[in-house]
Amino acid sequence: MKSAIIRTNSENKDFQSLVKELDADLAVRDGEDHSFYHQFNGITHIRHALVLRVNDITIGCCAFKKSDSKTAEIKRMFVKRENRGKGFSKLILSELENWAKEEGFSTLILETGKKNFEAAALYQKMNYQRTPNFAQYIGIENSLCFEKNI
């Protein structure tokens, strides 16, 4: 099995395609809350995106964006359903952590929905700690926020 993680940005067509699949999945999970979250998940200005290809097939992505001088927010983490449970999420998240560190960030933060059980479990396995909801997620009952010093 040949895998490659490509460092790119939001203009990458594979990244855009995966984000559409992610949004479709989240629309089902989030139900009526999805439109609220959609406003925070635009990808137009993301400068740091990863695309995971296995055997020349694009199967996953994630990205980060600057929150402040030392903190980056993880965005758009996704692995296609048929490729889940095989360690690809850990692989791509580890690469994202390395890239964020190279860019001078010391902390990563993220938000996921309470119904996104697999994501919450992944972040906890990868040593992310639950935190109070931050920024636009303060007071949002369906949000879970996490943080990790890298």
Query: What percent of the chain is predicted at pLDDT more than 90?
Result: 71
The predicted structure's pLDDT at residue 28: 75
The predicted structure's pLDDT at residue 128: 98
94 Cβ partners below 8 Å, 6+ apart? 126
Superfamily of domain 3-149: Gcn5-related N-acetyltransferase (GNAT) (3.40.630.30)
> In the chain, what are the domain boundaries?
3-149
pLDDT tens per residue, range 72-123: 999 999 999 999 999 999 999 999 999 999 999 999 999 998 888 899 999 9
Contacts by 67-73, CB closer than 8 A, 24 or more apart:
67/109, 67/135, 69/104, 70/104, 70/105, 70/106, 70/107, 71/105, 71/106, 71/107, 71/108, 71/109, 72/48, 72/100, 72/103, 72/105, 72/107, 72/108, 72/109, 73/108, 73/109, 73/110, 73/111
pLDDT tens per residue, range 22-52: 888 877 766 655 455 444 555 557 899 999 9
